[in-house]
Amino acid sequence: MDFKQAKRNRKFDSWLLVLLLFSFAIGLNFLASRIDGQIDITPDSKHTLSRETMALLNQMESPVDVIITIQDNNALPKVVQKLLHDLDLLLESFENSASARKISVHRVDVNSATMSSDVINLYNLTEANLIMVASPRGDKKIVFRHEDADGVNPYDPNESFRSKDSLARESLWESGLYGEWVEGPNGMLEPKVFRGEEVITRAILEVSGKPQLKRVAYFTRGHGESSPADVNAEKGYSELRRLLEDKNLQVSTIDLSVSESIPKDAKLVIIAGPKATFQDEEVSLMRNFLNQNDGNLLVALDPMESLAVIDRPAFGLRPLFKEWGLRCHDMLVYDPNRENFDIFTGDYSLRTYSRENLHPSVKVLAEQGYSIQTDRCRPVEVDPGHPKGLNPVSLVYSSSTSWAVSGWANRKTPPEKNPLLDVEGPLPIASLSSYAEEGDSPNEFSPKGKLVVLGCSKILSNKRLRSNTGNQFLAQNLIYWIKNSYEMLEIPPKPLDSYHVSMSSENFEKLLYSLSVIPGLIALLGIFVGWLRKEL
């Protein structure tokens, strides 16, 4: 037997095996590069577009281009680098989504002398450091703009010093891409959640959705109402404003006392916690808006602390409510059960939902056991003698131990139940009304409008919307119901988490070295075993 020939054959077989394995690896990588897909194995599929987003993307009527002209490099502020990192997986999910129209992501350098592309020419891009959503039909929406500045001149006495990172954080805060900013250990404001999915989705719908004539939510003013521009942590309504804008509604204000009519672009009119009576002319404008102009009205009324300043029940809105099958009593809901009601702060938890006629806007709330947090509230019930064709529904109730106190401002605290004047619970706190689309015959008015009445304005305040998921979900679903987005009503809220690791360069080097120990030991062991086999 020729051992030299056998040894050569073994070497040839070994090299052939190495060549085959190398070819297999190249072929496998080539096939993987041709497969356009991803698998999300994180808990709760946190990197997958939500059902809500997919339902909205199905409303697209034209393709969309997401354009990023920010060049990722170490010279960028850390918060902008973090934004680009957080957007990577999100934009890839948008590109791979089964949307009604194609979504394409483009990263371009407008400052490059040799850079020329169809995207730059199509949208006439000349500005760097921005993120924009655009449609070939001509609509554009700038999502984020980063001013590439070195900060404010520290030697200018007219300007307070602002660092480059501080200016970038301000731009991020204004964009709404991050939320729940809190002060970190270093004194800088840090975001807790990433809201990129909803911000990008809203921008996509603005540039590619079906054009709408009615897309403005008007807050009334002139009666002491809460303002959508108020950022007060407790009583402000800026969170509701954000929710409305997230659902592709613009927000403005209107003074009905000096208006001849409600603007034609109004989709919704909101009355948030008035302190004075609405006059007949103002009520007439709202009546025409509801009955003839396909309008929607959301009213949040607090219990009146003094009847001396109010000359008519329910701030003058009682006749309008009655026409829509609702009754709003000038009473205070009181509950002796301390688990539900705090007599000193007025905080009240609503956990009771209707079992028979459960409205879709609160169905998931009831099924998953969410509570609605309120302040002092008044009852809003369905009128049994409502006009035919209407479909008034009570949404959420006080507990069975509660009752409605009449003339509560003049009663002692805690009140004693008056069986003649007070009303036994449970009491409806929030109700809505609309015309039935099928079955009942319509009345004299057009069956188009919708009315929502809440017995407490604090349900939609910043404090409640920021701290309680039930309030957030209720506000969101009421907006969907008003916009006729019925497919969105039963989608539960999806929490967004943001993770980051902060460490010094020294700690990073230690971590890098510690992670390389095991691979290094395995490599040395392999070399040693190879040397032993060679010696043997």
Per-residue pLDDT of the chain (536 residues; tens, 9 = 90+): 455 565 566 667 777 777 877 788 788 777 776 665 566 555 556 667 877 788 888 888 889 999 998 888 888 888 888 888 888 888 988 988 888 889 999 988 887 755 557 788 888 888 888 899 988 887 888 888 887 665 545 445 555 556 778 888 888 887 778 877 777 777 777 787 788 888 888 888 878 877 666 789 999 999 999 999 998 888 899 999 988 887 778 899 999 999 999 998 999 999 999 999 999 999 999 999 998 777 999 999 998 876 545 667 889 999 999 999 999 988 999 888 877 776 666 688 898 887 677 888 888 888 888 889 999 899 999 999 888 888 999 999 999 999 999 888 778 878 888 888 889 989 999 999 998 754 444 444 444 789 999 999 999 999 898 888 889 889 989 998 998 776 666 555 545 454 555 556 677 677 777 777 777 777 777 777 767 666 55
What's the predicted TM-score (pTM) here? 0.66
Do the beta carbons of residue 215 and residue 70 sit within 8 Å?
Answer: no
What is the C-alpha separation between 395 and 382, in angstroms, rounded? 10
> What is the reported pLDDT for 191?
80
> What is the reported pLDDT for 155?
47
Do the beta carbons of residue 105 and residue 46 sit within 8 Å?
Answer: no
Q: Which CATH superfamily is domain 212-488 in?
A: Class I glutamine amidotransferase (GATase) domain (3.40.50.880)
The phi and psi torsions of 175 (rounded to 5 degrees) equal -70, -25
Burial class of 223 by CB neighbour count within 10 A (0 to 12, 13 to 18, 19+): buried
Do the beta carbons of residue 277 and residue 311 sit within 8 Å?
Answer: yes
Q: What is the DSSP letter of 431?
A: E
Do the beta carbons of residue 396 and residue 361 sit within 8 Å?
Answer: no
Across the beta sheet with 423-424, the strand order is 331-334, 403-406, 423-424
What is the C-alpha separation between 394 and 430, in angstroms, rounded? 6
Helix (H) or strand (E) holding 97: none
* SS3 assignment, position 282: helix
> What is the reported pLDDT for 526?
74
Do the beta carbons of residue 69 and residue 106 sit within 8 Å?
Answer: no
What is the C-alpha separation between 237 and 460, in angstroms, rounded? 7
Residue with tokens 């008035």: 274
